[in-house]
Structure 1
Amino acid sequence: MTERVIAPRGRGFLFLDSHPAGCERIVTDMWQAIPTPAEPPAKQPVALVIGSSAGYGLAATLAGIKRAGIRGIGISFEKAPTERRTGTAGWYRTAATARLAAEASSDWVFLNGDAFGDELKEQVADLIGQRFGGRLDYLVYSVAAPRRTDPDTGTVYTSVLKPIGEPYRTKTLVFEDGRPEIREVETGPAGGDDIEQTTAVMGGADWERWITHLADRDLLADGFTTAALSYIGSPLTAAIYRQGTIGAAKAHLEATARTLDERLGKLVAGRALTSVNGAAVTQSSTAIPGIALYVGLLRGVLGDRLISPAGQLAELWDQLTGATELVLDDEGRVRLDTWELADDVQAQTAERWDQATTDSISTLADLDWFTGEVRRLYGFDVAGVDYDQPAETAIPWPNPTT
């Protein structure tokens, strides 16, 4: 029996199961929120989205199909449903994305595997050659992972969330029995090779390896463009993020973009850049101390002016395809986070941060929105879904041969 009633069981920001119907509805809602272009795209460029099942990578896939008319390949690493557990939320979101792509007459293959491995790189290269005309126009890199195995050496690198130099003490938001509580937590500084390990996972090494692999197979189209999705964030969280181990990895990612940009310019008159996105509730971000509190307070300041990942990635595709002007900062980055980092927005958020206590947090942050967004990551709290009804859990992975 693969139909059952699925309840949101878990602890804190983690849930044991996901809801297939809720995940499908979330993808549909994201699709509908992406504006239809004034004119249909003149062609269907071929794109590869690495990390296509969640967060900004999912938004990149949906916005690319709807705004830019892309076809191509999406890669993610998800768990299939079993007799005891549902599939991961990304499994069900991928099935929903494949359905929407088919309805939009966009040819897509979704692959489930380790994006860090050379075996998957070779599989993708074969698909581009055999199914997509042998030329790739765009590659969007959106990978967040706890570890990476180096294909050359077999070394396993593990990323950590730590400040650099000194311990980091911050307010953080937790929920005990559904009740919000503000606590202070301390994270010890990076030691040993923590920075190098995190950079090996979250920096630009794998992105560059993808480009090298595809270039060696002569699969990059003239004018090929690649973008890696990144984040800078607020001064309120800088010590644990931009100035911490993850920030070191992001700096490496941006340095890789500059190296790749020069290389691609000479090779195919192409370009490489990073896209700095604004804050969002993701499974990765909720694990970072202080981020949950910050995002809840930011939403309290901005309300509906907070721009969703789908809205941001629609803007990115417009810039990448030339529908609008490509605007880069002094570091050569697309900035989709200006709404978040505006001086007045940060000042108001910082003021609320200083005032935040367990007693006051419900008046300073939009906690209903935040907790709803966390639950929606797993397909719960989605309008229009009847959670009292049994849901089919044995949703198959999209068949790459159809």
Structure 2
Amino acid sequence: MSERVIAPKNRGFLFLDSHPAGCARLVHDMGQAVPAGQPVRGDGERPVALVIGSSAGYGLAATVAGLARVGIRGIGVCFEKAPSHRRTGTAGWYRTAATAELARQHGSDMVFLNGDAFGDPMKEQVAAVLTERFGGRLDHLVYSVAAPRRTDPASGATYTSVLKPIGAANTTKTLVFDEHGAPDVKDVTTQPAEGHDIEQTVAVMGGADWERWITFLADRELLADGFSTVALSYIGSPLTAAIYRQGTIGAAKAHLEATARQLNERLAKLVGGRAATSVNGAAVTQSSTAIPGIALYTSLLRSVLGASMVPPVAQLIELWDQLTGARPLTLDEEGRIRLDTWELADTVQAAVAERWRSATTDTVANLADLDWFTGEVHRLYGFDVPGIDYTAPVATDIPWPTAAN
């Protein structure tokens, strides 16, 4: 087994290597932060769950919280790269190995599948595992997929998503760091969507694939009575609305919410089930760091809230409690589960907006929690994790977890 010392090497917010021990420790610490819940099934069986996008961000939090809080068993689907002779595996590769170990510690039968969640071959593979391993019954499906492109299995067309405003160009503040790690607040202008930009983004990030998953599994009679499904989403602050909620990604989120309403009606008739979107709060993720303005916004938000900022795993505890009936399912007027109220409180947004207006390269260090933000970015790749000796060699060729018989 190859071992080497791994140091962080990055281009902006993108790191070239990941640290296996750091990724494993993060998953362990997430699991430790989840208090055990009460049994949720009267027959004593653990609920069967499918988490699509299980290796990163809120999908990882959903998997960890589901294991530690609810005792789920089932399947996690993600798309990660294996270690090679030149590079480590992706952070999600190592996080998945650690999540499989967490499942074993909780006595949960979890199978992790690596591949394209948009393609029908993955759907066939999931259906086979559900049939052969879990009695042909799925209780919950959590959909948490963020991707730059998608190939439609039906048409063969490939769509590419874009981050653009709609109607007019948008100029916003954004936070970057130079090669020495010094912060720089600058204005960045993004040109508006044109041509098929909106249609393409909706095709990738909207509800089409989520609906295809439900249809695929329903046609094979794999949905249990009372089946529930939720797609994870985000609304965000008025400060980022032009590039996010009112932009091309926002159009995709609106499509996702419309899909939820349609699926909810369909599932209620089919299996007495339900579908909803879960609007989560801000977090530093590999996807969010690519959005102009989000780095500055989350840094300012953390400076306002401090330790009161709710981490993803804590939000997903609340989501699982609502999905399993441990707490009442609470929906807003649009039929969405809202886990972002702590972020969008008027007093919080007013304080962040005041700091946003004052933020410049010279002032940002006093207004934003830059140490927290840069630490969060490092931890996405397993670096800057307490308790890890980064001067020690570490094994990099960690195998993909194999399901026990």
Q: TM-score, normalised by structure 1?
A: 0.99
Return the offset for 1:43.
3.2
CA offsets, 1:235-283, max 9 Å, x none? 0000000000000000000000000000000000000000000000000
- Output the CA distance in 1 between the equivalents of 2:270 and 2:377: 43
Q: Does 1:257 align with 2:260?
A: yes
SS of corresponding position for 2:387: coil
- Output the CA distance in 2 between the equivalents of 1:49 and 1:189: 34
Instruction: Indicate the residue corresponding to 1:26 in structure 2.
Output: 26
Return the offset for 1:12.
1.2
SS of corresponding position for 1:226: strand
Q: Does 1:15 align with 2:15?
A: yes
Task: Assess if the C-alpha contact under 8 Å between 2:279 and 2:338 holds in 1.
Answer: yes
Instruction: Indicate the residue corresponding to 2:142 in structure 1.
Output: 140
In the alignment, structure 2 segments of 5+ residues that lack a partner are none
- Output the CA distance in 2 between the equivalents of 1:252 and 1:22: 37
Task: Assess if the C-alpha contact under 8 Å between 1:75 and 1:113 holds in 2.
Answer: yes
Return the offset for 1:39.
6.1
- Output the CA distance in 2 between the equivalents of 1:401 and 1:114: 23
Number of equivalenced pairs: 402
SS of corresponding position for 2:6: coil
| Alignment match of 2:288 (pick from 263, 285, 289) | 285
Q: Does 1:37 align with 2:40?
A: no
AA at the equivalent of 2:26: I
AA at the equivalent of 2:36: T
Return the offset for 1:66.
1.2
AA at the equivalent of 1:162: K
AA at the equivalent of 2:317: A
Instruction: Indicate the residue corresponding to 1:5 in structure 2.
Output: 5
CA offsets, 1:314-344, max 9 Å, x none? 0000001010111000000000000000000
SS of corresponding position for 1:225: strand
Task: Assess if the C-alpha contact under 8 Å between 1:43 and 1:69 holds in 2.
Answer: no
Structure 2 counterparts to residues 72-83 of structure 1, below 5 A: 72-83=74-85
AA at the equivalent of 1:179: A
Task: Assess if the C-alpha contact under 8 Å between 1:45 and 1:137 holds in 2.
Answer: yes
Instruction: Indicate the residue corresponding to 1:110 in structure 2.
Output: 112
Q: Does 1:201 align with 2:204?
A: yes
- Output the CA distance in 2 between the equivalents of 1:68 and 1:100: 13
Instruction: Indicate the residue corresponding to 1:154 in structure 2.
Output: 156
CA offsets, 1:286-328, max 9 Å, x none? 0000000000000000000000000000000000101011100
AA at the equivalent of 2:258: A
- Output the CA distance in 1 between the equivalents of 2:169 and 2:398: 45
- Output the CA distance in 2 between the equivalents of 1:96 and 1:349: 36
In the alignment, structure 1 segments of 5+ residues that lack a partner are none
Task: Assess if the C-alpha contact under 8 Å between 2:39 and 2:70 holds in 1.
Answer: no
Structure 2 counterparts to residues 342-357 of structure 1, below 5 A: 342-357=345-360
AA at the equivalent of 1:181: D
Return the offset for 1:173.
0.2
Task: Assess if the C-alpha contact under 8 Å between 2:38 and 2:70 holds in 1.
Answer: no
AA at the equivalent of 2:388: V
- Sequence identity, in percent? 74
Task: Assess if the C-alpha contact under 8 Å between 1:167 and 1:188 holds in 2.
Answer: yes
Alpha-carbon RMSD: 0.9
- Output the CA distance in 1 between the equivalents of 2:361 and 2:183: 7
